[in-house]
C-alpha cells in the first residue's frame, strides 16, 4: 500500500515528492492508525440499543420506609432527576438530557427498591425490540442505583455508630 502511494506521488507530482515520502514510510500507517483512533469514539456515539436495565436491590439494613424514601429522593434529585414522591411506596422520576427524556418508577419499602422503565423520548428506535433502549438510559439508571446503594450504606454506618 505504501508503494502504491509512492508510485502515485511519483507519477502525479514528480519524483521529488515521492523521494521525500520514501524516507517517511512509517507516516502513512501512523496516519491511518490515528484516523481509526479518532473515528472510533464518533462511531460509538451512535450507540446500539441495549436491554433495558431494571435493577432490584435488597436493603440489608434495618431502615424505615421513610428513610429509604428520603435516600432515594435525595440521590435522584442530586443527579438531576425530577422527583414525584406523593404516593407512599412509589417514586416517579423524570430525567432530561437535551432532546432525550426518561421516566422511571421506583417502588420501595423498608427491605427493597427497584427501578422500572416507564417511558422515554428519543431513547428508543422504532425498529428496536420492546425491551431495548439507548445505552444513555442504562447509564443514568446505573448511576442512580449506585448512588442510592452507597447512600443507604452510609446511612446504615451512621446508625450503627
**Tens digit of each residue's pLDDT (9 = 90 or more) over 88-111:** 999 999 999 999 999 999 999 999
* Nearest alpha-carbon partner for 55 in 148, 151, 119, 134: 148
Centre a 10 Å sphere on the Cβ of residue 83 and count the other Cβ atoms it contains. 16
Q: Report residue 87 as a C-alpha cell.
A: 404516593
Q: Name the residue with cell 435493577.
A: 55
pLDDT, position 41: 46
Task: Give the predicted TM-score (pTM) of the model.
Answer: 0.69
* Nearest alpha-carbon partner for 97 in 140, 34, 37, 39: 140
Domain residue spans of the chain = 2-45, 50-160
**Tens digit of each residue's pLDDT (9 = 90 or more) over 51-71:** 999 999 999 888 999 999 999
pLDDT, position 22: 56
Mean pLDDT, contiguous 10-residue spans, the chain (161 residues): 56 53 59 58 58 95 94 98 97 97 98 97 82 95 98 91 80
Average model confidence (pLDDT) for the chain? 83
| C-alpha to C-alpha distance for 157 and 109, rounded to whole angstroms | 19
pLDDT, position 43: 42
CATH number 3.30.310.50 is the correct assignment for the domain at 50-160: yes
* Nearest alpha-carbon partner for 118 in 98, 135, 141: 141
Go through the chain and tell me how many residues it has: 161
Amino acid at each position: 500500500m505504501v508503494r502504491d502511494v509512492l508510485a502515485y506521488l511519483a507519477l502525479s507530482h514528480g519524483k521529488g515528492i515521492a523521494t521525500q515520502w520514501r524516507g517517511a514510510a512509517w507516516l502513512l500507517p501512523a496516519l491511518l492508525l490515528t484516523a481509526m483512533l479518532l473515528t472510533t469514539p464518533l462511531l460509538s456515539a451512535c450507540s446500539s440499543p441495549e436491554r433495558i436495565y431494571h435493577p432490584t436491590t435488597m436493603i440489608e439494613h434495618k431502615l424505615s420506609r421513610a428513610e429509604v424514601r428520603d435516600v432515594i429522593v435525595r440521590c435522584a434529585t442530586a443527579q438531576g432527576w425530577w422527583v414525584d414522591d406523593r404516593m407512599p411506596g412509589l417514586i416517579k422520576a423524570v430525567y432530561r438530557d437535551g432532546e432525550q427524556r426518561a421516566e422511571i418508577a421506583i417502588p420501595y419499602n423498608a427491605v427493597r427498591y427497584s427501578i422500572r422503565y416507564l417511558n422515554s423520548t428519543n431513547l428508543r428506535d422504532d425498529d428496536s425490540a420492546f425491551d431495548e433502549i439507548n445505552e444513555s438510559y442504562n447509564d443514568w439508571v446505573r448511576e442512580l442505583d449506585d448512588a442510592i446503594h452507597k447512600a443507604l450504606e452510609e446511612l446504615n454506618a451512621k446508625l450503627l455508630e
